[in-house]
């Protein structure tokens, strides 16, 4: 199945505040989109809407293909080692943990609670790779990463898209993505 992600006339409201409206997009195999905008403008809300975790105020989303989300929630058991935490997810996803691909192979025995912010982000990327999803939704994937980590994320996105996946990256940071497509969110008055 070819991945597809489409949004038609989306609007997002938080309380009495309209974050965005009239947002439409369509992505297919090999496409990547960088969603930019100021803090609080609705980038994370858009990612959650696209993932199906948040209902839009208006509009519709259509998805084809398995979806994986990386956001600020690590979703790894803090009380066990990183390797054990990822083995749990590999049992669900049916794939081996990808610690070597994200530079964490030496930390497999370290409890998750002791990982730095950047190491946690890399752990989330290892889990993303294990999910084998064709649609990647990445919310601020560069937070906490050094320059090597940024290059790692850019390389993973490029490889994913080259293999027929699609990716939406919400970030206020500069990130190189295949094709360089950008969607800049801007706010509306309530």
Q: Among residues of the chain, what percentage have pLDDT more than 70?
A: 98
| In contact, 86 and 126? CB cutoff 8 Å | yes
| In contact, 11 and 22? CB cutoff 8 Å | yes
- Could you tell me the pLDDT band of residue 31, with boundaries at 50, 70 and 90? very high
- The pLDDT value given to residue 60: 97
pLDDT in tens, 85-133: 999 988 887 777 789 999 999 999 999 999 999 999 999 999 999 888 9
- Could you tell me the pLDDT band of residue 174, with boundaries at 50, 70 and 90? very high
pLDDT in tens, 38-74: 888 999 999 999 999 999 999 999 999 999 999 988 8
| In contact, 101 and 126? CB cutoff 8 Å | yes
Mean pLDDT for the stretch of residues 157-177: 96
Q: How far apart are the first and last CA of the chain?
A: 40
- The pLDDT value given to residue 75: 86
- The pLDDT value given to residue 180: 85
Mean of all residue pLDDT scores within the chain? 92
- The pLDDT value given to residue 188: 58
Q: pTM to 2 decimals?
A: 0.93
Taking phi over 0 as left and psi of -120 to 50 as alpha, with beta for the rest, 158 belongs to alpha
pLDDT of 150 > 90? The answer is: yes
| In contact, 125 and 156? CB cutoff 8 Å | yes
Give the ranges where 21-146 is alpha helix by DSSP (H).
Answer: 43-51, 82-93, 117-131
- The pLDDT value given to residue 190: 43
């Amino acid at each position: 199945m070819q991945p597809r992600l489409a949004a038609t006339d989306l609007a997002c409201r938080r309380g009495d505040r309209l974050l965005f409206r009239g947002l439409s997009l369509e992505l297919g195999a090999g496409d990547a989109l960088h969603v930019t905008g100021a803090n609080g403008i609705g980038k994370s809300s858009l990612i959650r809407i696209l993932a199906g975790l948040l209902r839009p105020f208006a509009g519709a989303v259509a998805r084809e293909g398995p979806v994986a989300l990386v956001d600020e929630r690590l979703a790894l058991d803090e009380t066990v080692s990183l390797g054990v935490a990822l083995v749990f997810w590999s049992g669900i996803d049916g794939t081996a943990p990808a610690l070597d691909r994200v530079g964490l192979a030496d930390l497999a025995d370290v409890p998750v609670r002791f990982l730095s912010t950047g190491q946690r982000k890399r752990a989330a990327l290892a889990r993303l790779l294990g999910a084998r999803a064709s649609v990647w939704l990445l919310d601020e994937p560069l937070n906490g990463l050094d320059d090597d980590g940024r290059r790692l994320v850019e390389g993973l996105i490029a490889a994913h898209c080259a293999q027929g996946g699609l990716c939406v990256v919400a970030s206020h940071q500069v990130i190189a993505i295949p094709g360089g497509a950008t969607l800049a969110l801007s706010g509306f008055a309530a």
